[in-house]
Chain A
């Protein structure tokens, strides 16, 4: 195979300019990197296949690929920029993070591929710690390397708060001015971003940012994305919204969101992340439908990254609350969900199916008019 027909390397996105040959080489390398000694697990075949088809190239069957070694993969991607190769490594990490436990051989193998691709990635290291059973160190690493970077760059004026929390994933504290600002969204016309996010909070009984126990001003940013990207607020919806947010971040560190939520909701590698708490009663990523939905969220995030080149959690949504949701979606480049994701059952932000059981019960307690 050859990559001689490849278009010019992109600035960091993955789908554009990837030839069928190159896409196959990537798939072969990823599959070889993450295969346990007994071969790829069915969940890996399904998830990696869905993600590959959504963000890289034509569909391939990961179960039947000829292995491609790290040196060969590195040679095939030699002309690609670091960010592109970094995203390939994150595909590998995604393919190992869904294993429980992660076999040491897999974690070491992914590290070999990352080194060959000249990618220094903290999530490769975190996966190695998971494989060792060093979950506490892995969480410290994830926390210090991923989230801390994010909120240190968050602007207090943009978040409309004067309260600086040491941990923005922890529940918020009282901030009267912030709470009043969020309360004022109720007065905005229906269909505006502010009113819609108010409706989202109201219908679920969420504590407002600025109130004790509500989301921090920083974490509340992701609730605007729930509305804009039209994702539910149950655990499936959180996986979708953070897959999109993480991939939309032009900095590969955004992968921290998906890595953390998979650890919280799927494998248990992360016991508690402050505002979000782990729930392993039902495996979410065992379902093919969720693989399609996550893949589509990554595709949409990739499009946003190419178009916006800004972390969605750094957007000044407070300056946009009076505009219509459709208008803001268009400005940020948030595409509609794919037909495949819709067919896989991805509920919208205001669909009952997108609520957790507790949220549904709360919505029902409000009566039909407000529950939507």
Chain B
């Protein structure tokens, strides 16, 4: 099953705080219930200093919701809303949210023993 990715483009002078915010989020998610959220990346734009792209990835959980639907479900969680408020406190202006369905990924092919 392909994944779903949410992009969040922000402008900020608080790079380290952004990293800490994401790391704190991951620590809090790691020992909780298995959700659709499976990880994130924070990318700094080399051509536009102060511009960052957060890519959060989602996958299926129980097979009854698509990864995109799991992301929607995640967005409605109170802790996600609190996290978004913390993010807004670190950035200039409103974050730009984009949404992507994954079509291809380098990696496992599904063969149980050969990967």
Contacts and interface: CB of A to CB of B under 8 A. Distances in A.
Given A132-B60, A133-B38, A134-B38, A101 B30 contact: no
Given A140-B26, A144-B30, A129 B63 contact: no
B26 A137 contact: yes
A134 B29 CA distance: 11
A134 B59 contact: yes
Contacts of A140: 26-27, 30-31
A141 B59 contact: no
Interface in B59-101: 59-63
Given A136-B26, A137-B39, A140-B27, A104 B60 contact: yes
B103 interface: no
Given A132-B59, A137-B39, A101 B31 contact: no
B63 A108 contact: yes
B39 A136 contact: yes
Interface in A103-160: 103-105, 108, 122, 125, 128-129, 132-138, 140-141, 144-145
Interface string A22-64: 0000000000000010000101000000000000000000000
B38 A144 contact: no
A108 B62 contact: yes
Interface residues of B, number: 22
B34 A133 contact: no
B15 interface: no
Contacts of B34: 125, 128-129, 132
Nearest to B110: A101
Contacts of A145: 31
Contacts of B113: 41, 43, 100, 286
B49 interface: no
Nearest to B3: A133
A128 B35 CA distance: 10
Nearest to A145: B31
Nearest to B114: A100
Interface string B20-60: 00000011011101100111000000000000000000011
A353 interface: no
Contacts of B60: 104, 132
A344 interface: no
Interface of A: 36, 41, 43, 99-101, 103-105, 108, 122, 125, 128-129, 132-138, 140-141, 144-145, 286
